[in-house]
Structure 1
C-alpha cells in the first residue's frame, strides 16, 4: 500500500486539478526532480489510488439536458437476478452511478437523458426491465449547484 504523505497528497490534488499535467510540470510544482516524482506517480497508479485519467465533459453541451436521481426497490435478491441487474446497470450509458443503499429503497441511480421524452423511453426500455424491480421513483434535477468528481485527499490514509 502507498501511504498518502504530504507529497503524495499534493500530487493527487494537482492531478485532480489538471489530469494532463506533465511529469516535468508536476515535479516543478513539487520542487523536486522528475525521476522521484515519476516514481511516486507510478506507485500511486500501481496501488490503484489513481485509477485512470479522463476528460470531464459538460453534459448540457453534448445534449444531455436531463439528470435524474432514481430510487429503485427490488423484490428479488437472488444471485441470478442480482447478476442480471448488475449487467444491465453496467452496460447502460444513461446510468452514471448506481449505489446499493440502506433505507426504504435498495438502489440509488444517477441517470442522464437528452430530454424528458428520452428519459421516459429510458425508464420504459431499461429501468422497467430490470429483474425484480417493484418501485421506481425519479427526482429530476432542476438546477445543478455543484458537480465534482474531486475527492478530498486525506493525508496519512493508506
Structure 2
C-alpha cells in the first residue's frame, strides 16, 4: 500500500494522537485519552492500531548530545569506487554496529551515502574516520563537514492536517 493511501486512513483523532506523542512520548494512556476526550479503552485501541500499522515505530527520549560529552557533530559523505560489487552491501550491514553513527542514508548526487556522526572530540572523530571508515572496503572518498552551530535539530515529523 502506498504512503499516500495510508495517510488517508488517518482521521483527526489519529493525527492528534501522533502529534501529542511526538511532543511527549511519556503520556500515559489515561492522560492521552483525557486530551482526546475519549475513554481509556478506545484510546488504547487507536494507539495499538497506530503501533501495529507502523505509524509509531518506537518510543525514545531525546537526549542532549553535548551534556553527554559529544561536542563534535559531523556530516560525512562517502563515495564507493564500484557499485557492482558487494562493498556497499557490506558497508550497510556493518554501519549498524557503530552507535556514533546517528543516521546513514543512501543518497543521490556526488556521494553514495551521507552519515551523521557524533564524537567527543576532533581526535575521537579522526580516530573513527581512520579506524572505521578508512578500513572499509570499497570506499574511495570521504568528505566531512563539521557542524559549527546547531540551529535546529528534531526528529519530529510534521503530521498532516
TM-score by length of 2: 0.92
CA deviations on 1:81-109 (whole Å, 9 max, x unpaired) are 22210122111111101111111111111
Alignment of 1:68-79 (within 5 A): 68-78=74-84
Post-superposition offset of 1:129: 1.6
TM-score by length of 1: 0.94
Q: Which runs of 5+ in 2 are unaligned?
A: 1-5
CA deviations on 1:106-130 (whole Å, 9 max, x unpaired) are 1111000000000000000111122
CA distance in structure 2 between the aligned counterparts of 1:79 and 1:51, rounded to whole angstroms? 32
1:122 equivalent to 2:128? Answer: yes
Q: Does 1 or 2 have the higher relative contact order (CA < 8 Å, sep 6+)?
A: 1
Among candidates 152, 156, 159, match of residue 150 of structure 1 = 156
1:57 equivalent to 2:67? Answer: no
1:137 equivalent to 2:137? Answer: no
Equivalent residue pairs, number = 155
Match of 2:67, SS state, is: helix
CA contact (8 A) 2:76 2:116 kept: yes
Q: Which runs of 5+ in 1 are unaligned?
A: none
Among candidates 47, 70, 90, match of residue 84 of structure 1 = 90
CA distance in structure 2 between the aligned counterparts of 1:135 and 1:79, rounded to whole angstroms? 16
Post-superposition offset of 1:79: 5.4
